[in-house]
């Protein structure tokens, strides 16, 4: 039996611990990469609105921090690729960042889109979809984990052990710090370049003390890898699907979610 999982309630149900994957084969959750980055400038309000319109279960976002300690949503550690400015995010204030145009590089019709602060993003989108928050290069930003924890706690979003909020990162040290700050928030480790094949079973076991998701890059995915991840009790999201062919392929796997620039392909 295969059924479409839609939006918050169903997403929550799909994660109930009691569910046995062998009993009901759920279709993977639909996760909008940087919103709907195939259609709109990534990590902007336009992109997040589009993803919601396309019926995503989760919005995936990337977090970095400004010179004045504000959390902002941008993928790169510089503004060079996705705005009309130049420079490092960590060397600019929120006001400086938000004076930049984050839309025109993608298409002139998006001129005027801004780099959103995390605060603004939560005001607008928390509750409209589940959130998959990536801490990007946390080693560049001392105490970014504390800022994130404070922002989620101030909104009561730190009690999100129903998986409506998930935080992921490549950085396992940052994830360990987050686990202490936000013990109820599920955490995911991102893996690529076969790094997981080099993780011994005993290390995977210790990872499972604070990690709920192991999320591999699509190029390293195999049924064997998925089984290994699941055998250790992790859930798994695969990233990043960009074609219909890939969407069809991965939709057939027994995984928890797929991150895509084109969420409608899922």
Helix (H) or strand (E) holding 258: strand 257-260
Place of tokens 């392909």: 265
Q: For residues 170 and 80, what is the distance between their CA atoms, to the nearest angstrom?
A: 22
- Burial of residue 75 (CB within 10 Å: 0-12, 13-18, 19+) is middle
CB of 239 to ligand G3P, least distance (A): 4
Instruction: From the list Ca ion, ligand G3P, none, pick the one residue 259 interacts with, judged by a Cβ distance below 5 to 8 Å according to partner type.
Output: ligand G3P
- Catalytic member of 75, 119, 179, 232: 75
Backbone angles phi, psi at 191, to 5 degrees: -135, 145
Nearer to ligand G3P, 22 or 57 (CB): 57
Residues forming the site for Ca ion (CB under 5 A): 62, 134
Q: At what angle do helices 118-125 and 45-53 cross, to 10 degrees?
A: 30
Nearer to ligand G3P, 159 or 192 (CB): 192
Residue nearest to Ca ion (CB): 134
Site string for ligand G3P, 57-96 (x = CB under 6 A): ---x-x------------x---------------------
204 scored as a contact of ligand G3P (CB under 6 A): no
119 is catalytic: no
Nearer to ligand G3P, 2 or 263 (CB): 263
Tokens of 226: 């998925």
Stretch 246-265 residues interacting with ligand G3P (CB under 6 A): 259
Q: For residues 75 and 61, what is the distance between their CA atoms, to the nearest angstrom?
A: 8
Ramachandran region, residue 221 (left: φ > 0; alpha: ψ -120 to 50; beta: rest):
beta
33 is catalytic: yes
Catalytic residues: 33, 75
Binding site for ligand G3P (CB under 6 A): 33, 60, 62, 75, 134, 190, 239-240, 259
């Amino acid at each position: 039996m295969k059924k479409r999982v839609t939006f918050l309630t169903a997403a929550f149900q799909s994660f109930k611990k009691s569910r046995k994957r062998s009993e009901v084969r759920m279709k993977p959750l639909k996760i909008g990469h940087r919103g709907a980055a195939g259609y709109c400038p990534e990590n902007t309000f336009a992109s997040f609105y589009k993803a919601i319109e396309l019926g995503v279960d989760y919005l995936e976002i990337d977090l970095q921090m400004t010179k004045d300690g504000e959390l902002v949503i941008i993928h790169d550690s510089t503004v060079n690729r996705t705005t009309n400015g130049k420079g490092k995010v960590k060397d600019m204030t929120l006001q400086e960042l938000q004076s930049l145009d984050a839309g025109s590089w993608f298409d002139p019709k998006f001129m005027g889109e801004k780099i959103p602060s995390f605060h603004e993003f939560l005001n607008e989108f928390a509750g409209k979809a589940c959130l998959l928050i990536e801490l990007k290069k946390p080693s560049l930003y001392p105490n970014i984990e504390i800022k994130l924890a404070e922002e989620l706690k101030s909104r009561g979003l730190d009690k999100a052990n129903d998986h409506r909020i998930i935080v992921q990162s490549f950085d396992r040290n940052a994830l360990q710090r987050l686990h202490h700050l936000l013990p109820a928030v599920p955490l995911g480790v991102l893996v690529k370049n076969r790094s997981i094949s080099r993780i011994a079973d005993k290390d995977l076991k210790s990872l499972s003390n604070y990690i709920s998701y192991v999320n591999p890059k699509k190029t390293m995915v195999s049924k064997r890898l998925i089984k290994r991840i699941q055998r250790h009790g992790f859930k798994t999201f695969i990233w990043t699907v960009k074609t219909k062919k890939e969407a069809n392929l991965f939709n057939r796997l027994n995984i928890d979610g797929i991150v895509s620039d084109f969420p409608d392909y899922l």
